[in-house]
Amino acid sequence: MTDPADPDAALLQGPAASARAVGGRRVLLLRPLGLGDLLTGVPAIRAVRAAVPDHRLVLATTTALEPLARLIDAVDEVLPARELEPLDWTGPPPELAVDLHGKGPASHAVVADLRPGRLLTFDSPGYPGPTWYADEHEVRRWCRLVSEGLGVDADPDALDLAVPAVPPPVRDVAVVHPGAAYPGRRWPADRFAAVARHLADAGSDVRITGGPGEVELARSVASAAGLGEDAVLAGRTTSMELAAVVAAARVVVCGDTGVAHLATAYRRPSVVLFGPVSPALWGPPPRPQHVVLWHGSVHGGTGDPWGTTLDPALARITVDEVVDALDGLVAHAHLPRNASGH
């Protein structure tokens, strides 16, 4: 759990959190998934806070996401967790446990095993609750679970995240993030390079981001775009530093990844490339600074988000479309133009 002696944790725990700690009544929320999953769950987490304002809210999520989980103002404590594994919970059972992980008994059992005073899950055999709808947007799905289950309003636009206390390595840059967890969601590197080159030619300071396993990808994009080694941030930032870079970015270009959700959380101008999953399920809220590109079926249906080859819907997105979308953001975000106005 969060170390109370940790200065970063102390910085993020204000008087309200301290007051909640005194009572000792705790609520457990389960969401040990990826970055995008964590961030799309923030409105539901805030709704739980509204339902139990005097309780201490414990979020069970992965160790890797613990620093970012601390940036959610509604969270008092973070419990390291692994997907579908028993929780290392100590002390009395929680008064309320909410499964924000999935729709079935495998994850329901993880929270039920804590013997909470009350359990909130989606309906499945042995677990009564609200109905799961497969075609519902991820943010609205969890908001509805909390709203119907606890009788509180849940605002699906309450996606904001606190800015990390760590200073960003760079500010006011154009972030190009070519990576994604699976090949099916990775737009081709040469196309990302063409977009990065366009941004640099237009006067932007371009940085290529990515995780430790995406350094070579980032370097190949930077090289093809004619950028120097200093343009590559992949593998050189912590999760908090990456969040700080996005929070201070001028614009973000990426696929359907956690970085896209960071851009939403910090309301930064972004162009997000979707495929195989529809933005109707995982896209940003309808704000002028977020542009979505998607060539999937308007009649529903998705490809394989864990696919090993480039999804056809994503492949249909062209460099010109992305460049046009970026140019269209100029009026809203005041991105730099070059002398020719491009």
CA distance 32 to 111: 12
Q: How confident is the model at residue 24 (pLDDT cuts 50, 70, 90)?
A: confident
Q: Of 89, 116, 150, which marks where a domain is finished?
A: 150
Q: Which helix (H) or strand (E) holds 128?
A: none
Question: Beta strand 118-120 with 174-177: parallel, antiparallel or unpaired?
Answer: unpaired
pLDDT beyond 80 at 332: no
- Buried-exposed string 40-68: b where 16+ CB fall within 10 A, e elsewhere: bbbbbbbbbbebbeebbbbbbbbeebbbb
Q: What is the pLDDT of residue 257?
A: 95
Question: Are 259 and 128 found together in one domain?
Answer: no
Statement to judge: residues 122 and 256 lie in one domain: no
Give the CA angle between residues 215, 218, 221 to the nearest 5°.
150
The total of other beta-carbon atoms located within 10 Å of residue 96's CB is 23
On whether both 121 and 186 belong to a single domain, the answer is: no
pLDDT in tens, 259-302: 999 999 999 999 999 999 999 999 999 999 999 999 987 545 57
Q: Is residue 163 part of a domain?
A: no
Distance, CA of 79 to CA of 174 (rounded, Å)? 34
Q: Rounded distance, CA 295 to CA 36, Å?
A: 21
Q: Which residues does 285 contact at the CB level (< 8 Å), separation at least 6?
A: 139, 156, 157, 159, 264
Is 159 domain-assigned? no
Q: Which long-range contacts (CB under 8 A, 24 or more apart) does 10-17 make?
A: 11/165, 12/70, 12/71, 12/73, 12/162, 12/165, 13/76, 17/76
Based on the fold, state whether residues 211 and 73 are members of the same structural domain: no
Domain identity same for 15 and 47: yes
Residues 262 and 188 in one domain: yes
Cβ proximity of 130 and 149 under 8 Å: yes
CA–CA dist 202, 107 (Å, integer): 48
Which of 135, 150, 165 lies at the terminal end of a domain, its last residue? 150
Strand ranges of the sheet holding 56-61, from the earlier edge strand across to the other edge: 77-80, 56-61, 26-30, 96-99, 118-120
**61-103 pLDDT, tens per residue?**
999 999 999 999 999 999 999 999 999 999 999 999 999 999 9
**295 and 193 in a common domain:** yes
Q: Is the pLDDT of residue 209 over 50?
A: yes
For residues 45 and 29, the answer to whether their CB atoms sit within 8 Å is yes
Helices 42-51 & 138-150 angle (0-180, nearest 10): 10
Q: Do the strands 96-99 and 26-30 form a parallel or antiparallel pair, or are they unpaired? A: parallel
Give the span between the Cα atoms of 39 and 159, in whole angstroms.
Answer: 7
Binning pLDDT at 50, 70 and 90, where does residue 240 land? Answer: very high
Distance from CA of residue 68 to its chain's centroid? 10
Q: Is the pLDDT of residue 342 over 70?
A: no
Please indicate, yes or no, if residue 339 is contained in any of the structural domains.
no
pLDDT of residue 63: 97
The encoded tokens of residue 338 equal: 């070059």
- State whether 13 and 116 are in the same domain: yes
Structural domain for 272, as ranges = 174-333
Q: Which of 115, 150, 185 is the last residue of a domain?
A: 150
Looking at the 3D structure of the chain, how many domains does it have?
2
- Asked if residue 123 and residue 65 are part of one domain, the reply reads yes
Tokens of 209: 């981001």
C-alpha Rg value of the chain to the nearest Å: 21
Looking at the structure, tell me whether residues 235 and 323 fall in a common domain. yes
| CATH number of 73's domain | 3.40.50.2000
Q: Do 58 and 193 lie in a common domain?
A: no
